[in-house]
Amino acid sequence: MDKDTVKIDVSNMSKEEKARVWTNGVRNEVNSLLDIYLPVSDEGDINIQYHYAVKEVFENGPEYHDSLADAVMVTMVFKFGELFDVSNQDKGENQDAEK
C-alpha cells in the first residue's frame, strides 16, 4: 500500500463488514498494480498455489487434505519487452508497515 493509504478502524465492524473492507482494499491495490505494469508488459503469467489444510499430525509429520485449502497464493509475473524504470515504484519493503 502506498503512503497515502487511509487506515480504517475495523475493530467494531461485523465479520461481513470487515470482509467487505478487505475485499475493496485488495481490489484497489491489485487494480493499481495492473494500471502500472500491464500497459508496459508484453507477456506474463499468473500462478495459483494452494496451501492445503492439515488433516492430521503424525510422528513423522502432517498429513494434508488433498482438496481443502486454508490459503492461496496468487503470483502475477509481468515481462517487459523493453527495460522499465522501477526507481519511482514502491518496491514493497514497507507495505506491511501501515497495516
Residue 8 falls within a domain, yes or no?
A: no
Cell numbers describing residue 83:
527495460
The pLDDT of residue 70 is above 70: yes
Tell me if 20 is assigned to some domain: yes
Paired residues of 56 in beta bridges: 63
Domain count, the chain: 1
Quick check: is 77 in a domain? yes
Is residue 53 in some structural domain?
yes
Q: Is the pLDDT of residue 47 over 70?
A: yes
Flag whether the pTM goes above 0.85. no
Cα–Cα distance measured from residue 33 to residue 12, given in angstroms and rounded to the nearest whole number:
30
Q: Per-residue confidence at 3, pLDDT binned at 50, 70, 90? A: low
Is residue 66 assigned to a domain? yes
Is 67 part of any domain?
A: yes
8 to 19, 21, 67, 78, 94: CA distances (angstroms): 12, 8, 35, 31, 18
The domain in which residue 74 lies consists of 15-82
Amino acid at 32: S
